[in-house]
Structure 1
């Protein structure tokens, strides 16, 4: 390669730059390394196709003395040979970076662009099923028992695979998924981040999580060390007490003095309580002993029972927290104020919240007067309204705050809603359906949502659960109300009941049974009162029938149908892998263009449109296609707008709406494959067979055209059927006298492969030189 030789790099230097050889797991790492190297050598155009290969041969015309062209022959193009040497050198460099397993799965006879696309298709695994699997895997990622480093590595690996398939995961999505997959141990950490106005980036979050994990390990180590020291001190204390006290032996197993046990030998000196039969304390210090009512005993237990200190304190703290949050409300109407300046939901009443969890962070609430109010807990709130209810997540509990505050920005983000203010009311509506699900009123200068509690009831809020006590003993607690899909017979209309009994059958079945007096007439629903069964609507959905495709436009080129076929499993002789069709709706005349990449469609259509204007003096009105990317580029859409062409796109996964061109694909492929199979021509000539098939189809009569051919309908004259030849048949192409001597054959044996568009002659394949020759003789 000239570029490499000029830069002073040799093939032996490449392995030092590419440290990772491509295998089935490191495609992205390998791609990053080799792309930078190839770009530095100015050869990336051979990979993305921007550096096109020159023609293999050039046409040379031989003229007679009168200046007339008597023969046209092809000569080798030296520029193509130079391009091929550079391209194959790049192929050799890429192959040198592949592992042995990958090297065995790729073809040697290919260009750099083909090799690059093969590797991308193999390892990027760009398919809808793969993308859906990766997205589902990304959403289900969780930390579990793994370390933070392993968890973050899995998230980044899946995100990189999605990015390689063209589905980029934003930094915000990676941060949110990382937080969602953390366990309960990180609840305080997550809450501290969620109250921030802006979440950190994924890189910043990695550092914070690693630091938090190290802090948690230090706390656990200190706790374990402290517990072991406390247990040791407790055992020593009880051991001394047993030896020196006359009244402390109760509850402790006696130990003979002649065994010579060390004071640190605590195997038989742990006290056992006679009240609760638990170790670590005696009956005189037991909480369950009804005689222990004085504060001194409890204080002494707190100081002496070190073995269960952490457990007792945690339990005591939990109980005290729960009872301190107990509130008794008699017909209280709670008020929630909507605030556009609040960053999060806030309440000072713990009874408003459920799923409470302690807050260990340093975050606080700062009010307008500059004062800061500490946050003790975070939970969820459920606000019952007059006609609906509103659920709030991550509500901050700040005991010093006297009012309940709803953050408008957080409400909009969490519920995907919009908030509409009027001079007297405020409405919270669904952003998509515009349906109102919450309504509040204006009180002086504030907008308020009022809780609607049942009358004649008292509500006890204890920490995590809410219980409703009603004067009616048969009523159900409000916290237990739910809407079930299982309904009793008395909740059905009789017509609905029989509809469900008969397996959700149609109305005509019920009418037949009523007519035969097999079921009561009351089971027949009135037409005016029939309601759509939601279960039938969800489970009996069908595809609507499609319109007949045998419809024509009123004039030529009023509507053009188009679609791209490919990629072909084998490249053609010219390197084509795709073709695009343009079909006139009026005449059903078909044009076919072969291409190497789908991105060539806009350029081909421009040339096609120019041909229509020049040859037929017509303009295209409608352009029917699918939603493929080749038809969605900004350049192509802008061209259609400039020409006043209306683009009609078929719905996703509905090729039937573009049925004319889809059916034409089948006709072309079946005809071409039949011709190739019949004459056993090389498969690399598939473009010639497809082109010939289109030429013949345009000459065949169609029922839609009243037994006329597309050729006659568009051009107004009959095609010359006598000019048709059998595809793949043996033919002999005449060699001009100027290209041979007197002892050479006057013709060469070839295979007929089609009709020339630009020449008035035939296209013939020479199996010896493997080239296409155009000749009329």
Structure 2
């Protein structure tokens, strides 16, 4: 594809002036002959400059053009497309662009070229949008600097500033020997040394080799230690260790620990670093020590141990137990550092807002911190294992202990075990019994269920049409004979009389209810007072609510995800579907007759006894004020003979 190079045109300088705006020929007077010749000369020069910069394969487009304006217009029409397809193509290229290695400067050139072409089509992309698209093209190797840029205010962001920050990060990673730019390694593997002559072993203190290759170290280390601890230490020395694990959210007051330990959030650290040995609940020596580069060029510190740190964070007056695995023990540090990279790899996120740093696990805040002298200090309290265990032993009763030993067995079963001597070794005695006031936090969280909805003790409605229950059932497959896929029920709470309407879609509910309300009010000369239904869109729509307001009907919506509150309609729909399915199976009719089966089921239920009516009457009798006549009932789907009127019959029919 040919592209006119704007840079070359600006170097020529005269080209914009050489292209005339009009091509109209005018009669030139004798005193303007010199000016005419200069104009012709400029046109020839312009045409020559344009032809020189057109590729040989593209000269066919302008071969028959005489003036430079015609050449320029033809090139713009052919190559400067401003269609929607061109915009979509360029935008798709920008969104799919990824930095897969190499130099960042080359990546910036390719990105700027696409943005310039995209803007050339007439599309609008401001500087902030361009910065966001550029950051999206970067891989995980730049996750730290991208996170820091995301927290900055928009007025401080510019494309030049972002490029400088990214180039600084590239230079920093190359200086530390990180191969993440080309290999895609997510973690920073600090080497700190590039030249073999500067390598110094920290086992024998000699130069020229590393500790892992040190022969003196291998002589001193026992063979059994290498077998037992080698694999675990090697894992701890790589960048693929498990990062952070938060467990045990406990309510109530924070742990009674007065001393605070300073942990600072660090976006540049690839691992969690701790300087205090007493913070670790488990600590082991690494078979391959890790060199950690510091801010000063050419200097590094060494971590020879790693382990697990257990702490408590205080969030909103409650304590959250935090277990942080694979923390490097570095006593030379001035402060303990909490790695943002490790937090993100653990599936959590860090939010900086108004001088605060919040660490989220899903939608829950597990650690919070505040800005202190341009650094974010996290609110952590150390965990004393020995004191905590002693405290738990004093407070915890025998019943709670055995409750936990038996996998959180209920108190009644524990009492039965002790009273009936069903097992041996149980230290609970019958006279001591089990503490019935035990409140187990784990049981509350793991076994909690919603209390059952108790049946109401009597009829709440005192008259017909005081309360109407309604619900929609469907879609039902296959379609009915008339293309129906749904049915809606209206149940009078006082008589339990049920009316069914078949529908093709849910938006017909309003029309069905209008018909039901008109027939019912005309029959009983009384109005519908309340309508109980779920939160479906067919009931919460504006037109449905407006109709109910006009008729003075109060709508009682159920609580979301609580179908038990509309149990009358839910149970009726289930009964109708079960009876219809059974009748279809018994009759052998096609499933397309489900609509007729449902209406027949409602007809029969209105003439059947129900526990909802306490007067030993059927819903039909309460609704119609007379006993139903069932002498004409026939089995659903049975064969019948249809009488044809004589007006429609022929002589021999």
TM-score, normalization by structure 2:
0.45
Structure showing greater relative contact order (alpha-carbon pairs closer than 8 Å, 6 or more residues apart): 2
TM-score, normalization by structure 1:
0.39
